[in-house]
Amino acid sequence: MTATGPTSMAAHRDPVRPGKTSPITIIVDGMPVRGLDGQTVAGVLLGAGRLAWRTTRNGRPRGVFCGIGVCHDCLVAVNGLSDVRACQRRAADGDSISTEAQP
Ligand code: FES
């Protein structure tokens, strides 16, 4: 069986380099961060070594907890839209991400 449609991993493959995914760059708090097409925003952040990007009211770090869109610990702003779950949002080349921890 062959998967088709936008959720297919085949859709994320680099047509120039078969078997490879395309690199993307997103802007996180004003800094460029590299990832791969098909990764979530949380995946790109984790890949860049960002384990937490929010804090609780009592200062405890938060990033990805459930990874399935339930806990809302991973909220970021994407292209000006606030309260986006980073674990559920596919990163797109050029996306601008603002975290609570931005300077
Ligand atoms: S990590 Fe739980 S909603 Fe994203």
- Place 20 in a pLDDT band, splitting at 50, 70 and 90: confident
Residue with tokens 């990033």: 63
Starting from the edge strand earliest in sequence, which strands make up the sheet with 81-85, in order? 31-36, 23-28, 96-98, 75-78, 81-85
SS3 33: strand
DSSP state of 43: H
pLDDT of 14: 60
Residue 34, pLDDT > 60, answer yes
Residue 18, pLDDT > 80, answer no
Burial of 3 (0-12, 13-18, 19+ CB in 10 A): exposed
- Place 103 in a pLDDT band, splitting at 50, 70 and 90: very low
Burial of 9 (0-12, 13-18, 19+ CB in 10 A): exposed
Q: Which residue has the higher pLDDT, 88 or 1?
A: 88
Residue 58, pLDDT > 90, answer yes
**Atom 3 (ligand 1): residue with closest C-alpha?**
69
Residue 3, pLDDT > 50, answer no
Percent of the chain with pLDDT over 70: 79
The mean pLDDT of the chain is 87
Letter for the amino acid at 77?
A: A
Mutate which of 70, 89, 99 for ligand 1 pocket (most atoms within 8 A of beta carbon): 70
Q: Tell me the mean pLDDT in the region 28-45.
A: 97
Indicate the pairing of strand 61-63 with strand 75-78: unpaired
Q: Which domains does the chain have, with CATH numbers?
A: 21-98 (3.10.20.440)
Mutate which of 40, 54, 83, 87 for ligand 1 pocket (most atoms within 8 A of beta carbon): 87
